[in-house]
Structures are given as structure tokens and as C-alpha cells.
Amino acid sequence: MLRLPSDNYKNMISINDVRKSYGPPECRVEVLRGVSLKIQQGEFLALMGPSGCGKSTLLHLLGGFDQMDSGEIFLGENAIHQMNDQQLTRLRRDTIGIIFQFFNLLPTLTAEENIQLPALLQGQSAPAVRARTTQLLAEVGLSQKADKKIHQLSGGEMQRIALARALIGNPTVLLADEPTGNLDSESSRNVISLLRELGREHGTTIIMVTHSTEIAANADRCLAMRDGNLLI
Amino acid sequence: MFLLFCHHSFRYFSRHKLLSFLNVFGIALGVAIFVSVQAVNHSALQSFRASIDIVSGKANLELVGNGLPFDETIYPKIRSLKGIAAATPLVETVATPVSVPDEYLQIIGLDPFSNGPFRTFTLKQNGHAIDPLSFLENPSALALTESMAARLHVRLGDPLLLQTDSGVRPFKVTFLIAFNEDAVGVNDHIAMMDIANAQENFGMSGHLSRISCQIAPDQDLDWIAQEIRTLVPSDVLVQAPDRRGKQVDKMLGAFELNLTSLSLVSLLVGMFLIYNTVSTAVMRRRSEIGILRALGLQAIQVQLFFICEALVLGILGLVLGILGGLGLAELLIGQVSETITSLYLLLSIREIFVSPLSLLGTAALGLGAVILAAWFPAREAALIPPVQALQVGYLEVSFQQRTPRLLFLALLSALLALCLGWASLAGGSHWLSFGTALFTLLTFALCVPTSIRWITRCLRPRNIISRVALRTFGSSLHRNSITIAALVTAIAMLVGVSVMIFSFRTTVNQWLNETVKADLFITDSANFRAGTRKLVRPEVEHIIRNLSGLETYDTYRELELTLHGSPFKLSAIRFPVAASHNLLRFHHGQGSTIFRRAANQDQVCISEPFARKFGFHEGETLSLSTPAGILPFTVIGVFQDYTSDLGVVMIDSQTYQKHWHDLSYNSFALYLQKGVSSKTVQATLKQSLLLLGSYMVYSNQELRSQVFRIFDQTFRVTYLLQAVALLVSGLGIFLNLIIMIAERRREIGILRSMGTSRFQMISMILQEAALLGGLGSALGLAAGLALTWVLSNVINIAFFGWTIAWATPWLFLCTLPFTVIVTSLASGFWPARTAAHGNISQAVKME
């Protein structure tokens, strides 16, 4: 079971000198060059920077989607960098929620089923999941679209479904990778205000990667990255 | 265009090495099976022809006895006939070497004086060519092939004891036979001796098996043949030597056709593989197609593009398949050779022959199959509008929309199968019956998409992993349909042929129980190895008559005759004995009544295959060629018989002896008095017959074992063909899952990012594999049972005419789905493991 920080322990996430590179040795690209960062519980943090600066990679390392070359990442008192696959799976399932730029909803499932997926994976009871899904669909304003297939939804609607899916497991940390990158400005504003609202309501720590300063302005704190380094 | 093809396609192949390799391997397997069967069939015929040619290869006319040897006094008449440039007499028989009773020698007695102009061999002694006249220097001289001498462990100058009609006789291996270069593939069981020597030792004094003739160049062959016919009795056939080859063609036709059609199924399964590969390539490269189309590539060029890609894989598969097929033929040849010898004629295939024409034909068929299989998905790719080509799932959606049309085509195919079956049974071409089988398979293959949709709608699993697996299974309708269709075809063939063989075996067993009631049987041991050819010495009957505990005995004499150019068997048995002991099933009437009525009358019973093959019915008159001329016999009954697909005419021994003047027998069946131990009598008989020669005395049970040994041997090759078809479709499942994982990498990444464990991921993919196997085996079972019906009631009736009562191998049918599902799971494990261990970060980034 994941040990969360006590009330007097405010640092939810600690990132210490994390390095990550890709590619074969002859043309290796260093994406993260010793990033260190502390994020407090319930904080809404925006990570900004140009394409390829390493912000999505950092997000994926936080989510346990990838292995770092060196460094440490602590979520509460838990060392992500030391976790095996089983522990990382449990972390992703019980503690972390994620939203992607391209929504990444499963096309074979309906909107409602997509939302239910993480909760069912957690082993929550079906009636409880159904009730929670109804509540979340109402919160994101898509109660009427529950039975729709993914290709029948607009981009904004897809991202709201993705947000509901990210929240259904009551995650402690919500990772948002360019959540508005594929949306028009109105949909972007709606999704961000929803993200902020629901994040606050659920007490979730949010780390959002974005290109847009306008979107980043909604965050509590905004950090910039360039060439694999964090600019303070 | 060519450069574009090279850039795009070869890079695609090199990027997907495993996929390309598996495809080439799958095609190669299908082609290998087809090539091996063709090579074995061709080699059987070539071997027989070469063996005919060896002693009379240069003859253009021959005289052969219709069933029995004929009087040698005919020879001087033929030789002195005007227009005959050369003629030579021959005696042919079979002998068993005492030291190696498992082998047999096909003895040819030749006339060294007259054989010169005909022969295509040389006799050799210590490396030097010897004149065949040297046979005259030593009456026990025998010539063997080098390979046979090696198998018998004898060298030049060694004595060799042979079982002859007058007992064991010593011969001397004096020469080795060296065949001329053009006489390839000759049966190496051939052994030669002087004709007089052969006649004396093998009970053929005063008789000949054959006279080979050469017609003078300025003479008309037909006229000479007609002239000879006026000089010889009607039971001596005057014909061109190649007619025997044609008879063998006819004789082996159905057997070879059976193997060919099974091998074509492997090719069909390979076609499904190509279809799936091309449609997968189309799906994967939809954006590439869209870009190329947007840049000005024409639709026909896109189609050509994909067809050429399939052809590259196809040609590679063909080359490997042809090479592998020739290797496989080497493995199959022993089995096929033994089967043909047991069922049809003496044959020993030692070499594989492949005519360049047949290879060209196979290549054309293989490439045709590849083009046909690639045509439709390639056309689909060509017809996608450029904008839609860039959209994910366009092909899937368009395929889903076509499901009702495919169901309609399935119904149409079923209707066609029924029509063709009816046409075949109503007297149309036999080939139409294969159309029935093909359309039956096609019906079930076309039902696959509807079945997938039906299953995904009906099943509602509670578990989320199972639900995702089911939805994914249903959403990949196009790819899964083809994989399952291939599996359905392979399983249908497995079930169809297995149930047919099981039914056939059960029917034969029942038939044996009812008809073969004798306690003991006696025959020459050579008949076990080389079919019913050797005669039993008259002294054997004398021993039987004096046997204590004997109730009665039956005699059996078998001749191979020809009617309208097709061979059949004439079996002479004692009808009065059969009336009281044999319970043969007749179409109309009781066997006992029929046998009693026909005893010592010019009446015969005919087997079902004979009735079908020659179109005879009860009450009709059948004209048979006898030494006394062509005589009419009334068909008194049609009986069920499974001894030969050539057809059997059964005649009373007394009638046979009266018209054929032949008092010899091939075997005896002994009925013992109640309470007499057959084992004791068997032991006594063995002891008594020991001095007379190499005789087999076997019990009723041993006869059954022998029957089923030949039966199982006949069908052994078919099991191999089925196994390969299953292997190719198993490969299809593996490929399908590999492709599925590559296509759904992002979805797998998403699921993993949501907290799906590796175990759950593996379980999800294995559930899809199980669905593939489960649905494939369910439809395959249904298709297989339908195919069994077609095989038993349409193809069998059209080609063989056996009555096969349906019998269900429940254990096999019940365990098959589990076996298929387990195989599917095994095929899916590696792809599933690969999917579960993929990098989530990379997968979710993919667009």
C-alpha cells in the first residue's frame, strides 16, 4: 500500500537529479539532464517548454511509464525509482490518473465504459462504479453521451471523458500531458477550468504539461524546461 | 513506380522481418505439400512405366493375358506374322527370397535370343557387360539389381534360395542389372532369368505372360493388331504398351486425386494467409496510401503495388516450397509405394521424379493463388479515397458494412454446393463433387464475419479485461475473419477426413464381422507383401482336406481383368460354402439365397464400386472375356464390398473353373467344427505346410489386423497433409496476434497506463486467442461434419461407390476444440508476453 505524506509532510513529490536518455549509444539523445523538483500536496503545477525539452518524459517517469537512467523520484515516502513492475502497476492503478493530448480513449468501449475502466481495474464493486460514473459524467457535463462510442464524440467531449476517467479512481496525483493541445480555445478553457475545479474538489495534486502560457496561467505554479533542464 | 516499390516495399519487409519470414514460411509449407503430393503421384506412374519399358521398352505392340497367362504356342505364330519385325516372349511372376522373407522379387523370365531389340538394360558381371545369352550357360543364373542385391546381402556368385511353386530352389546371383540412362525409376525388385527356367520353376510351363512386338516401319499398327486378334483367343489382349500406363493412370486416379485435393486445401489455407497479410499491410499503411494517392499515384498503381509485394513473398515461398516439397516427397514415397502395392499393383518407387512441366504448373498455380488472394485487399486499398485513407478504421468500418453481403454470399455458396452435389450424383462429371466440397467450405468461411459479430453481441462478460478482449476481437472483424476462415478450413478438413475415415473404418469392421467368418486363412507369404498374386500349391488343398476338426473350407482365386479398358478383379469363391457361411450384404435379397441360386450357373455378383464404375445393375448381362471367348453372365446381385475400388465380380469356383480352365487358388478359408481350437489347428497347419513353401496361416483376428494395417497405411499420408494445414492455420493465429499487438500498441499502452498489470494484459490477449480458436473450432466442427457428409455421400459415391455408414468419433470431436484452443493459446503466448512487456511511454506517444 502506498504511504502518503502526513499533514505536516507537505512535499507530495520529490524529484532528485533525474536523468533520462534515448537511442543507441552512437546517437544517444539526453532528454533529461539532472532534473530536481519538489511538488506539494494539492498543488496545480504547470510545466512549460518547447517540443522535445523533456517535459512529457518527466511526466511519464512520474507516472511510472518508463525507467530513468539515474536519479530518484519519491511519491510521498515511496521511491518510484526502486519499484518493480508489479508495484508500478499498483501505483498507476491506485494513485495516479493521467490525461493525454490525444485523449487515448479505447475506441472499442463506450464513453461510460472508458470512464469505468480504472475503477474496475481497482476492483471496485460494479454498483459503486456505476454510481460514481454517473456522478462524474454529470460533473463533466456529458450525462447524455454515456452510451456513445468514442468516434461519436467531439474532441472537447473526448477530453472531458478522459478527465472523468482519470478521476474515477480517486487518484492522489493527476498527470495531464498537453490536455488542451488538440482542442479549440473554447474547449480548452472548459477542460482546464474543469480540471482545476475537480482537482481542487478532490484534493488532487495536478502536474500539467503545456505549450500555452494562457493555459499555464491557471496553475498555482509554473515551471519552464529547456534542453532537459528545469529553468527556475 | 519501380523505384517507389523498391523504396517502400523492401523497407516495409525489412522493418517487419518476422512477419515477412512467417508469411514466406506459411506459403512455402502450403506449396511444399502440393509439390510433394504431385511428385509422389508422378513418380508412381513414372516408376511403373519405367519398369514396363525395361524389357520391352522399344515395343510398339504387345499381347497380354487378360487375367491369366496364355499358351506359348501363340508366340511362333506372332513371330512369323508378316509385318512383325521382332517379337519376344516374357514370363512374369513373384518370388520370395527365403533368407529375407520381408522382400519379394518381381521375376522376369526373358528369352535371350529374341529380347535384344527390345531391352533397355545391360547385364553386368564384375563391371563388364555380358550377353544375356550367358543365362543359358547356367540354368540357375539369376540377375538382380544392385540395390536389391545389397538389401538381400548377396554378391555376385552367391547362392540365393527362392520360394518357387515347386518348393525352395537354389539360384545363383550371376549378373547385376544396369539400366540404361533413360530407364530411370525402375522398380528395383526386378530380377531376371532365362524364360525356360522361369516357366519350369514357377509353374508356368507352356505359358507366357506377355509377347512384346515391334512392327515393321512400313506397316500399319492398327491393321497388324487386328490381324493378331484373329489369331489369338479372346482372353489375350492385343494393345499398345502405353495402354498399360493409361490403365495404371485410371487405376491410381482416384487414390491420387484424394491426395491432390487434400494438398490443395493446404494451398487454400496458405491463400488465406496471403489475403490476411496484404489486408494487414493495407491497414497499417493506410496513411502512406493516402499520401501517395494525394501526391498523384493512380488507383491501379496502388493495387499493383500491393499485388507485387504479395508476389515477392509468394515467389520466395514458392521457391522454398518447391525445394521443401521435393524433400517431403522423399519421406512420403515409402508410404505411398507400400499402399499402392497393397491395393493396386506391384510398385516400388525408389526415386522422385518431377517433370519441368509439372513444376511450371505448380509455380503458375502458386502464383495464381497469391495473385488471387492479394487481388481483393489490394483492390480495396486502391479504391480508398485519399482523404479516408488517412482515417483510422476506414477499412474495418467498410468491412463491417459488408457483413450482410457476405452472409448472402454464404447462402448462395450453400445453394451452389447443393446444386453441384445433385448434378454430380445425377450423372454429371465426378469433378463436380469436388465443387460441392469447395463450396461447402466456402459457405462456412463466409459465415465467419457474421458469427464474430453475433458472438460479440451475445457475450456480456462482467470482467473488464474480458470485456475489452471481446470488444477488440469484434472490432478487428476484417483480420480476425480471415484468420478464423483459414482455421475453419483446416479444421473442417481435419474433421471431415477423420470422421469419414472413422466411419469407413467402422463400416469395414462391421462388414468384416458379418462376412469374414472363417477361422483360419492360408496364402503364400508373398501375397502379404505384394498383393494377391502368388498361387498356392495343389498339395496344400490336400493337407486341408485331411485336417481333423475341419467343418468346411472355401477357396479363393483372384484375377485382374479389364473391361472397356479399365481393370477390375474377378474373384472366384465356392458359392455353396458362401451361402452357409458368408453374410455379405446385398442391395436386394439374402446372400444365402443368391449364392445358392448362382452356384455352378453363369451368374455373377458384382460389388458396389463395380456397379458404379461400369454402370451395371441386377438382372443385366455382363460379358466377360474367358479363354473360351467372350461369355455372357447374368448379374444376380450387387453386394457391399470394401476390398477394392477397382470393382469386384464374384463368381462361383465351379463356374470359373469350367470357363477359365484354371484349377489354381490364391488362398483358402477354413471353417472349423465347434469346439475345435483354431490355435491348435493353426500350429498343426504351419508345421505341415513348412515343407511346401513359405505359407502364412493366419487366424480371423490376424486377418482383421492385416486389413486394418493396410487401411491405416492408406490414410496415413492424409494425416500428414491435415497436420500441415493445421500448422499453417496455427501460424495464421500467431501472425494475427503479432499484427494485432503491433496495431494496438497504443491501446495496450493506455491500458497499462490505467493500471492493467502484465498478467491482465497477457490474459486479455490470450482470451482473444482463445476466442479465435474457439470460434474457429466451433465453425470448423460444423463445416467438418458437413464435409464428411459430402465426402461420404457425394465424392465417395462419385469416385468409389462404397456404402459408408456414418459413425461419430465422439472422443476426437469432443477433445478437438480443446486441442485447438490450447494450440491457439500457445500461439498467442509469445505475442501476449511481448505486448505485456512493451514500453508504456513509447506506446502512448504513438499517433
Instruction: Answer yes or no: is B459 within a domain.
Output: no
- Residue A100, pLDDT > 60, answer yes
Which residues of chain B approach chain A closer than 8 Å at the C-beta? 393, 462, 464, 467-468, 471-472, 474-475, 746-747, 749-758, 760, 839-842, 844-845, 847
- Look up residue A182 and give its DSSP letter: T
What pLDDT was estimated at residue B847?
Answer: 46
Q: Which residues in chain A are contacts of B468 at CB distance < 8 A? A: 106, 108-109, 117
Contact A156, A183 (CB under 8 A): yes
What three-state secondary structure class fits B62?
strand
Contact B393 A89 (CB under 8 A): no
What three-state secondary structure class fits A34?
strand
Residues 6+ apart with CB under 8 A from A161: A103, A105, A111, A114, A115, A140, A142, A145, A150, A153
For B173, the enclosing helix (H) or strand (E) is strand B167-179
What pLDDT was estimated at residue A6?
Answer: 45
What pLDDT was estimated at residue B262?
Answer: 67
Is the same domain home to B198 and B281? no
Contact A151 B393 (CB under 8 A): yes
What pLDDT was estimated at residue A22?
Answer: 86
In this prediction, residue B549 has a pLDDT band, given cuts at 50, 70 and 90, of: confident
Is the same domain home to B351 and B228? no
- In the block, residue with C-alpha cell 512487456: B837
| Neighbour tally for A224: CB within 10 Å | 17
For A46, the enclosing helix (H) or strand (E) is strand A44-48
Rounded average pLDDT over B131-137: 79
Number of domains observed in the structure of chain A: 1
Instruction: Out of B382, B401, B420, pick the residue that ends a domain.
Output: B401
What pLDDT was estimated at residue A8?
Answer: 44
Is the same domain home to B222 and B75? yes
For B412, the enclosing helix (H) or strand (E) is helix B403-425
Inter-CA distances, B138 with A208, A210, B93, B106, B208, Å: 107, 107, 20, 20, 22
Q: What is the pLDDT of residues B385-434, one digit of tens each?
A: 655 544 545 556 667 777 889 999 999 999 999 999 888 887 777 778 88
C-alpha cell at B391: 482515417
- Scanning B538-607, the segments in alpha helix (DSSP H) are 538-545, 575-581, 591-598
- Residue B450, pLDDT > 70, answer yes
Rounded average pLDDT over B98-110: 82
Q: How far apart are CA B834 and CA B813, in angstroms?
A: 33
Q: Which residues in chain A are contacts of B396 at CB distance < 8 A? A: none
Residues 6+ apart with CB under 8 A from A223: A37, A45, A46, A47, A48, A230, A231, A232
Q: How far apart are CA A136 and CA A132, in angstroms?
A: 6
Contact A60 B839 (CB under 8 A): no
The complex's ipTM? Answer: 0.87
Q: Which residues in chain B are contacts of A118 at CB distance < 8 A? A: 754-755
Q: Residue B712: phi, psi to the nearest 5? A: -65, -35
The burial class, CB within 10 Å (0-12 / 13-18 / 19+), for A226 is middle
What pLDDT was estimated at residue B643?
Answer: 76
C-alpha cell at B317: 515461398
Residue B460, min C-alpha distance to chain A (Å):
13
Is the same domain home to B45 and B143? no
Q: What is the pLDDT of residues B270-288, one digit of tens each?
A: 777 777 777 667 766 767 7
Q: How far apart are CA B466 and CA B472, in angstroms?
A: 10
Is the same domain home to B194 and B248? no
Contact B756 A126 (CB under 8 A): no
Q: Which residues in chain B are contacts of A66 at CB distance < 8 A? A: 839-842
Contact B489, B445 (CB under 8 A): yes
Number of domains observed in the structure of chain B: 3
Q: CA-based angle B792:B793:B799, to the nearest 5?
A: 80
Rounded average pLDDT over A145-174: 88
What three-state secondary structure class fits B804?
coil
Residue B847, min C-alpha distance to chain A (Å):
8
Contact B755 A89 (CB under 8 A): yes
Instruction: Answer yes or no: is A223 within a domain.
Output: yes
- Residue B759, pLDDT > 80, answer yes
Residue B757, min C-alpha distance to chain A (Å):
6
Residue A62, min C-alpha distance to chain B (Å):
11
Q: How far apart are CA B92 and CA B51, in angstroms?
A: 12
Which residues of chain A approach chain B closer than 8 Å at the C-beta? 56-57, 60, 63, 65-66, 85-86, 89-90, 92-94, 98, 100, 102, 104-109, 113, 116-118, 120-122, 126, 151, 165, 169
Nearest CA in chain B to A165: B754
Instruction: Answer yes or no: is B829 within a domain.
Output: no
Lowest-pLDDT range, A43-52, B109-118, B332-341? B332-341
- Residue A5, pLDDT > 50, answer no
Contact B445, B420 (CB under 8 A): no
Q: How many residues does chain A have?
A: 232
Report the share of chain B in percent with pLDDT over 70: 85
What three-state secondary structure class fits A153?
coil
Inter-CA distances, B103 with B189, B268, B525, Å: 8, 40, 10
Q: Which residues in chain A are contacts of B456 at CB distance < 8 A? A: none
Q: How far apart are CA B169 and CA B166, in angstroms?
A: 8
Residue bearing the bigger pLDDT, B195 or B188: B195
What pLDDT was estimated at residue B605?
Answer: 94
- In the block, residue with C-alpha cell 492424409: B718
Instruction: Answer yes or no: is B587 within a domain.
Output: yes
Q: How far apart are CA B734 and CA B410, in angstroms?
A: 27
Report the share of chain B in percent with pLDDT over 90: 14
Is the same domain home to B671 and B557? yes
Q: Which of A67, A94, A104, A168 to mutate to test the interface with B (most CBs of B within 10 A)?
A: A104
Q: What is the pLDDT of residues B144-180, one digit of tens each?
A: 888 888 888 888 888 888 877 777 888 888 888 887 6
| Neighbour tally for A82: CB within 10 Å | 10
Q: What is the pLDDT of residues B645-669, one digit of tens each?
A: 778 999 999 999 999 888 888 889 8
Is the same domain home to B295 and B358? yes
Rounded average pLDDT over B54-76: 78
Instruction: Answer yes or no: is A200 within a domain.
Output: yes
What pLDDT was estimated at residue A9?
Answer: 44
Termini Cα distance of chain A: 34
- Residue B345, pLDDT > 60, answer no
Question: Which of A95-99, B310-314, B337-341 is predicted most confidently?
Answer: A95-99
Query: Between A and B, how many residue pairs show a Cβ–Cβ distance under 8 A?
Result: 81
Contact B755 A85 (CB under 8 A): no
Contact A57 B474 (CB under 8 A): no
Nearest CA in chain A to B464: A120
Instruction: Answer yes or no: is A114 within a domain.
Output: yes
What pLDDT was estimated at residue B223?
Answer: 86
Q: How far apart are CA B634 and CA B620, in angstroms?
A: 6
Q: Find the largest Cα–Cα distance for chain B.
A: 100
What pLDDT was estimated at residue B118?
Answer: 79
Instruction: Out of B385, B401, B417, pick the residue that ends a domain.
Output: B401
For B260, the enclosing helix (H) or strand (E) is helix B242-284
Q: Which residues in chain B are contacts of A165 at CB distance < 8 A? A: 754
What pLDDT was estimated at residue B343?
Answer: 54
Q: Which candidate from A100, A108, A151 shows the least CB-CB separation from B844? A: A100
Instruction: Answer yes or no: is B175 within a domain.
Output: yes
Rg, chain A, Cα only: 17
Instruction: Answer yes or no: is A27 within a domain.
Output: no
What pLDDT was estimated at residue B56?
Answer: 54
Inter-CA distances, B256 with B340, B412, B421, B804, Å: 10, 30, 21, 20
- Residue B573, pLDDT > 70, answer yes
Q: Which candidate from B471, B746, B841 shows the least CB-CB separation from A65? A: B841
Is the same domain home to B63 and B190? yes
Instruction: Answer yes or no: is A214 within a domain.
Output: yes
Is the same domain home to B358 and B211? no
Residue B772, min C-alpha distance to chain A (Å):
18
Rounded average pLDDT over B96-117: 83
Q: What is the pLDDT of residues B483-522, one digit of tens each?
A: 888 888 888 888 887 888 888 888 888 887 877 788 888 8
DSSP string, B627-660: TTEEEEEEEEEEE---S-TT-EEEEEHHHHHHHH
Q: Which candidate from B393, B472, B839 shows the least CB-CB separation from A66? A: B839
Rounded average pLDDT over B3-20: 70
Q: Which candidate from B462, B468, B755 shows the least CB-CB separation from A106? A: B468
Instruction: Answer yes or no: is A14 within a domain.
Output: no
Q: Which candidate from B747, B839, B841 shows the least CB-CB separation from A106? A: B747
Average pLDDT over all residues of chain A:
86
Q: Which of B388, B745, B753 to mutate to test the interface with A (most CBs of A within 10 A)?
A: B753
- Scanning A148-222, the segments in alpha helix (DSSP H) are 155-167, 185-202, 213-216
Q: How far apart are CA B206 and CA B661, in angstroms?
A: 14
Residue B741, min C-alpha distance to chain A (Å):
14
Q: Which residues in chain B are contacts of A65 at CB distance < 8 A? A: 749, 752-753, 839-841, 844
Question: Which of B174-178, B570-574, B806-810 is predicted most confidently?
Answer: B570-574
- Residue B266, pLDDT > 70, answer no
Is the same domain home to B26 and B109? no
Lowest-pLDDT range, A215-219, B34-38, B614-618, B761-765? B34-38
Average pLDDT over all residues of chain B:
81
Is the same domain home to B223 and B265? no
Residue bearing the bigger pLDDT, B93 or B771: B771
Instruction: Answer yes or no: is A80 within a domain.
Output: no
Q: Which candidate from A98, A109, A126 shows the least CB-CB separation from B753? A: A98
In this prediction, residue B805 has a pLDDT band, given cuts at 50, 70 and 90, of: confident
User: Which CATH number belongs to the domain containing residue A97 in this structure?
Assistant: 3.40.50.300
Residue B382, min C-alpha distance to chain A (Å):
25
Each residue of B174-209: b (16+ CB within 10 Å) or e? bbbbebeeebebbbbbbbbbbbebbbbbbbbeebbb
Structural domain range at position A164: 43-65+90-231
Sign of CA dihedral B780, B781, B782, B784: positive
Instruction: Answer yes or no: is A179 within a domain.
Output: yes
Rounded average pLDDT over B294-304: 77
Instruction: Out of B215, B240, B265, pick the residue that ends a domain.
Output: B240
Q: Which residues in chain A are contacts of B464 at CB distance < 8 A? A: 116-117, 120-121
Taking alpha carbons only, the member of B222, B251, B253 closest to residue B239 is B222
Q: What is the pLDDT of residues B669-715, one digit of tens each?
A: 899 998 888 888 888 888 888 777 778 888 888 878 877 777 776 67
Q: How far apart are CA B397 and CA B393, in angstroms?
A: 6
What pLDDT was estimated at residue A7?
Answer: 47
- Residue B774, pLDDT > 50, answer yes
Rounded average pLDDT over B617-632: 88
Taking alpha carbons only, the member of B340, B320, B455 closest to residue B31 is B320
What pLDDT was estimated at residue B390?
Answer: 46
Lowest-pLDDT range, B660-669, B792-801, B816-825? B792-801
Structural domain range at position B543: 526-693
Is the same domain home to B255 and B126? no
